A and B are shown apart, each in its own frame.
Chain A
Amino acid sequence: DAGVIQSPRHEVTEMGQEVTLRCKPISGHDYLFWYRQTMMRGLELLIYFNNNVPIDDSGMPEDRFSAKMPNASFSTLKIQPSEPRDSAVYFCASNLGLPGELFFGEGSRLTVL
Chain B
Amino acid sequence: AQKVTQAQTEISVVEKEDVTLDCVYETRDTTYYLFWYKQPPSGELVFLIRRNSFDEQNEISGRYSWNFQKSTSSFNFTITASQVVDSAVYFCALSEAGNTDKLIFGTGTRLQVFP
CA distance A107 to B45 in the complex (A): 9
Q: Give the secondary structure class of B's interface.
A: strand
- Which residue of chain A has its CB nearest to the CB of B108? A42
Say if the beta carbon of B95 comes within 8 Å of chain A: yes
CB of B37, distance to nearest CB on chain A (Å): 8
A contacts with B: majority SS: strand
Kindly supply a per-residue 1/0 record for chain B positions 85-115, scoring 1 wherever the CB is within 8 Å of any chain A CB and 0 otherwise.
0000001010100011111011110000000
- Which chain B residues lie closer than 8 Å to A31 at the CB level? 101
In the complex, whether A45 has a CB less than 8 A from a CB of chain B is yes
**CB of A74 within 8 Å of the partner chain:** no
Interface size on A, residues (CB 8 A): 25
Chain B contact residue count (CB 8 A cutoff): 21
Asked if B33 lies at the interface with its beta carbon under 8 angstroms from chain A, I say yes
Contact, CB under 8 Å: A103 / B42? no
Say yes or no for A34: interface residue by CB 8 A criterion: no
The answer on a CB contact under 8 Å between B50 and A91 is no
Question: Of all chain A residues, which has the CB nearest B100?
Answer: A99
B45 touches A101 (CB 8 A): no
Cα–Cα distance between A106 and B54 once the two chains are bound (Å)? 33
B47 with A105: CB separation less than 8 A: no
Q: Which of A37-77 contact B (CB under 8 A)?
A: 42-43, 45, 48, 50, 55-56
